[in-house]
Amino acid sequence: MDNRLAAPLSTLQWVARGRVKPNDYNPNKVSKQNLELLKQSILANGWTLPIVVRPDFTIIDGFHRWTIAGEEPLLSMLEGKVPVVIVEHKDKAGNIYGTVTHNRARGAHLLGPMKAIVKELMAEGKSVKEIGKQLGMRPEEIFRLSEFSKEDFLKMMITLEQEFSKAEFITKI
């Protein structure tokens, strides 16, 4: 194994979040909805990706993970700490390349596979509400990916997600 490739993982440590600072060039922006999805992902799966930092603890990759780690309930649950790995580049250009390539390498979700995922989850009986929460989707997006008819989809939403009280017939005396 090439030790240069494994070296960052040997630096894995939990440090005070306040010790870590953002860089001044990150071109990646994330919507509030996706920040909530990131928080949900960490709550559901645990913290699976450390923040990549320079030796001075400036972020190369992981700004959004660092951001939500400063919010409740994560701040309390993590006791104000975040996991980091240290990567040392020769110059600022190397840091910038690291930030951009980490962001761009994550890719994008393709329509066909996402449709298959939504269909599978619905076939397993997962509710629109649960799928929406876990995947960060609005009901309209789930509807488009499910390929159900509008009527069938609305029936599923009512059947799976709402409980109604029994109707009573009232007459005047």
pTM, two decimals, is 0.73
170 in any annotated domain: no
Q: What is the pLDDT of residues 47-95, one digit of tens each?
A: 999 999 999 999 999 999 999 999 999 999 999 999 999 999 988 888 8
The reply to whether 96 and 140 lie within a common domain is no
Q: Which two tokens stand for residue 61?
A: 């990759």
Quick: pLDDT tens for 14-53: 999 999 999 998 888 888 988 999 999 999 999 999 999 9
Same domain assignment for residues 96 and 133:
no
| Nearest of 81, 7, 6 to residue 47 by alpha carbon | 81
Do 8 and 78 sit in the same domain of this protein? yes
Residues 11 and 92 reside in one and the same domain? yes
- Closest C-alpha to 99, from 71, 68, 58: 58
Write down the pLDDT at residue 58. Answer: 96
Q: Is residue 67 part of a domain?
A: yes
**Host domain of residue 72:** 3-105
What share of the chain in percent tops pLDDT 90?
Answer: 39
**pLDDT tens-digit series, residues 83-133:** 999 999 988 888 888 888 888 877 676 788 888 888 888 888 888 888 888
User: What does residue 10 show for φ and ψ, rounded to 5 degrees?
Assistant: -70, -10
8 A C-beta contact, residue 102 and residue 52: yes
169 found inside a domain: no
pLDDT for 166 beyond 80:
no
